[in-house]
Amino acid sequence: MARLTLALTLAGLLAAGASAAEPSTADSLAALPTYVAAPQVSGVIRTSGSELAGLLALWEADFTRLQPGVRFENHLQSGDAAIGALESGSADVAVNGREPVLTEFLSFAEVFGNDGPFQVAVATGSADKLGRTWAEVIYVNRQNPLAHLTLAQLDGVFGAERSGGYRGYKWTTRLARGPEHNIRTWGQLGLTGKWAKAPIHTYGYAPTGMSNFFELTVFHGGTKWNPNYRQYVEASAKQATDRASGTDQMLDDLEADPLGIAWAGLAHGQGRAKVKVLALAAEAGGPFVAPSRETVGARTYPLTRSIFMQMNRPPGAPLPPPLEAFLRYVLSREGQAQVRAQGDYLPLTTAELERQRKTLD
């Protein structure tokens, strides 16, 4: 057991060391393409959704300086209302800190006949700011010798056998997996001695945009969870009815449970010496990457999230010129400089920015 503990500890230190070696952002903003305000365009862009803690206002002010013929009409009550505004015809673009959920895909298809909103990632989510599309991190009790997991192991721990999964609103049996992939004891993750037959107790979020991202990323669109999964909501959110339902209690429960494993954000674990964060790998061979502002900014941490602009764009149809110009501005050096200036979200890497720009063509 001591040998295993030492090996896992060393692996965790190596992963953390690799993470610390990442630059403060994956790419310098100087490497990003500049925005060229030509041709000049004019018109109105109606927005709905989230104000992104002031980031949208920064983008709009700088863009209208470069494109004075464009003006914005903002209706930014909530990201949860964003896609509904597209469907009602009252908005041209939905500004959102999360991916669409199943009911939004279904209603979008029924209104427009499209498979779902056209979606562009416009910035990387936060590393450690609550309420800012934070990266999801995995916690275990400090007594647990485990140092890292793969996403497939996370699926085995938190998920369950399933007959299929969703891609958008379409169910496919290609995403099925059997019960042989379930992981229910710590011994199945390589722990020995007293840990070998000990059950794994799972903790995490009740259905939210965060759990939707977990299902999309870890369960490949599946929706079945480990039957012992204990659900909580954000301690400060409107859904919380008492402390026992919130994330503060979740971390208290994990601190008291050596057999527990939970997912939340980096901010939730601050000041909690009795829990630790695990490094993650997207593939079985690694590398294992610990969550940090550097690795989230580099998008090397597997549970890094994005913020989006979502639109109704039928396949093959062009975007309206003012909206295309605005998106090309956001996906430019100037636009991503505003992300850095806002400070909570993180700029896209060069590779991710180029991938998103290609979707506009």
pTM value? 0.90
What phi, psi does 185 have (nearest 5°)? Answer: -130, 155
Report the pLDDT value the prediction gives residue 6, as an integer from 0 to 100.
Answer: 31
Give the pLDDT confidence of 273-323 residue by residue, as tens digits: 999 999 999 999 899 999 999 999 999 999 999 999 999 999 889 999 999
> What residue ranges do the domains of the chain occupy?
2-24+136-290, 32-125+306-358
Report the pLDDT value the prediction gives residue 74, as an integer from 0 to 100.
Answer: 97
Give the pLDDT confidence of 141-165 residue by residue, as tens digits: 999 999 999 999 999 999 999 999 9
For residue 193, pLDDT beyond 60: yes
Q: Homologous superfamily of 2-24+136-290 in CATH?
A: Periplasmic binding protein-like II (3.40.190.10)
Span 2-10, average pLDDT: 35
Residue 212 three-state SS: helix
Give which of 234, 232, 202, 233 is closest to 218, Cα–Cα: 202
pLDDT band at 245 (very low <50, low <70, confident <90, very high): confident
> Per residue, what are the HEC states of 93-162?
EEEECCCCCHHHHHHHHHHHCCCCCEEEEEEECCCCCCCCCCCCEEEEECCCCCCEEEHHHHHHHHECCE
* Position with higher pLDDT, 56 vs 27: 56
Peptide bond into 321 cis (omega under 30): no
Span 53-78, average pLDDT: 97
Q: From the options 3.40.50.1970, 3.40.190.10, 1.10.760.10, 1.10.10.60, give the CATH code of 32-125+306-358.
A: 3.40.190.10
Report the pLDDT value the prediction gives residue 141, as an integer from 0 to 100.
Answer: 98
pLDDT band at 45 (very low <50, low <70, confident <90, very high): very high
Span 10-24, average pLDDT: 39
Report the pLDDT value the prediction gives residue 146, as an integer from 0 to 100.
Answer: 98
Span 107-119, average pLDDT: 95
Give yes or no for a contact between 309 and 140, defined as CB atoms under 8 angstroms apart: no
Residues in the chain: 361
CATH topology of 2-24+136-290 equal to that of 32-125+306-358? yes
